[in-house]
Structure 1
Amino acid sequence: MFYLDGYKNCIKTVFLLACSNQEQKINSLEELKNQYICFLNQHFSETPIPTEANLDQFCFDIERIKKIAVKYQEDGILTDLKTKIDLNTPIASMEEALSYVKKGQILLNQVNPSLGTIFDLVIHTLFYVRSPNAGGGSVSDAPGVIWCAIKRNWTDMDIAEFLVHELTHNLVFLDELCYQHYTNMIQLSDKKHYAKSSILNKQRPLDKAFHSLVVSHEVLHYRQEAGEPSTPLVHPPSEQMLSASLATINSIKAVIDNSNLVQPRFYEILANIEVSLRQLEKSLKTVVAV
């Protein structure tokens, strides 16, 4: 959403959610983040966020992590991927893993400081616990949280891409909260409404396929600034991901045509991504990073 909508619109979405009932003027991003945390604590009270000043993004509080982890393991009607989480992960392993995440975050900031600013505004919690079958992720029931189950062979570039990936999921969560994307979430569980994911290359519920498309768009544009990883581990090579993304657009269109599944904002995002990817298709020049 950062590369699609821009820096100011990302801030606007957070503002509209966090300050819709506030009359006071917001004078800084710090004040906006405080209001945003209050909004999340009000609407997502099962995963409360500490409100003390200078809250560290990196969470080592195992009791808080357990509450968050429940959201990753719940078998909701739209949950199509079973996730295993090791809540016995030692603190030393958490500290080591998150030290690598920090390096990836520093790289992200170096590549695009404005993107780093949006990351710091939207993402309030990063945590690490091991998983035998997942690299981490984000869930709509805990906006602003990233589970960083990174792997030892990931480079700083891979981790930075992972953070762009997860930030995008969170920005889409917030965009949906603000503008509404679907007419009826229950309908999305019907397999006739599945579309092809551009990341996993498999049929998934419409909202998951849509998320994958937005993520692919953002990672592709991030790579235009950061360069192409010589051996990408988190995402496919750019040409492959671009081709898969265009296929996902067609798959999504086939699902939503002549239906009442989605709202105008969904159509707007889909159309803008298609224009952007078609332009990228014409000009894509991959640069192998050294």
Structure 2
Amino acid sequence: MSAPGRVGVLGGGRMGAGIAHAFLLAGAHVVVVERDAASADAAAQRVGDSIRRSVERDPGLDASELTARLRTGTDVTLFGDTELLIEAVPEDRALKEQALARAEAVLPDGAVLATNTSSIPIDVLAAARRRPERVLGLHFFNPVPSSALVEIVRGGRTAGEVVERARGWVEALGKTPIVVADSPGFASSRLGVALGLEAIRMLEEGVATAADIDAAMTLGYRHPIGPLRTTDLVGLDVRLGIAEELARELGDRFAPPDLLRRLVAEGRLGRKTGAGFYDWTEETR
């Protein structure tokens, strides 16, 4: 199956820009909508930077042709003819509910409404939607261009036809889809955050250094990246938000460690700020 012809992305941060980039490479026309003009310009810059990196890796790509299929703006009415809308705003339940409501109000009746949430139950986000059967989760992973997985989350009322269309779209991106039932944290976040939180607790308790904890998993269990470095890449603030959501739904085993809360309060959010569990200053210059 080919990618949808027209895709909307609501939210043009790191994840939203990565999702837009992936669909552009698959041949879609993509509209990214942000909250204000400055944010829309920043989103266009992020996608443009990703396109340039893709062209450097594959000279057969035409940067001008890819860029011509991208549009950014601040008005949700730009989504009026999209086949697929993906919400990619920060991991906050109220914010996502507001974003989905704004998007649904302008979408064509046959459009699929997807959320990139990594932890909030789909049925919660779909409850107030007019067409909950057309709502599902499309959980992309950071960084989107190099990630091979997309988690398709089927809500209790999501139509089977919508899930199958989503599976085809993910495959058209050159990524592997997995389909999971709606539950807190789904499959990937629930397992990944559980490992990451335990690694943070071990660091907090002085069991070992961050590098040695990560080495235990990369060398001992052949994980490509250790849990603390992964947390830096995802963003400590993002991990904290997911942990808080999972703790509400699944109990204290997902309660965020004090160390995680302290680092977030200090603004040490990982690679995007230059420091987290590791020093990233050389990469952020």
- Which protein has the bigger helix share? 1
Q: Give TM-score scaled by structure 1 length.
A: 0.28
- Which protein has the bigger strand share? 2
Q: Give TM-score scaled by structure 2 length.
A: 0.29
Higher RCO structure (Cα 8 Å, ≥6 apart) = 1
